[in-house]
Amino acid sequence: MTGSANNTAASILDRTIQPQAGTLPIPAARFILSLELGEEDRERLAQLAAKASANSLTLEEQVELESFRNVGRMLDLLKSKARISVKNAAPACGQ
């Protein structure tokens, strides 16, 4: 692997979390699947998304929105790994 194209935050997270490998213990996987933004964060994200649609975000708000996106990407990767872990364990658990 060479070059910075392979070292974006998303690429680094993908290589680190390895969402395609369902290797989480079931209790951990179920916990991860239960994670979501709190009400206050969901409301703030909706505000930022509306301002982004109107092209009226300040620089500070753009950074804040990018932080929400980064958290979302990480949760997506973790939840993908968790879903695969639960699915892989289902035959062994008789589910």
HSE at residue 59, side-chain half, CA atoms within 13 A, is: 0
Give tens-digit pLDDT for 35-64. 999 999 999 999 999 999 999 999 999 999
How many CA atoms lie within 13 Å of 66's alpha carbon, on the beta-carbon side? 9
pLDDT tens string 66-93: 999 999 999 999 999 999 999 998 766 5
Instruction: Give yes or no for residue 12 having a pLDDT over 80.
Output: yes
| Cβ 81 vs Cβ 33: under 8 Å | no
With 0-12 / 13-18 / 19 or more C-beta atoms within 10 angstroms meaning exposed / middle / buried, residue 26 is middle
The average pLDDT across 18-34 equals 94
The conformation of residue 20, written as its DSSP 8-state character, comes to T
- The pTM of the full predicted model, rounded to 2 decimals, is 0.81
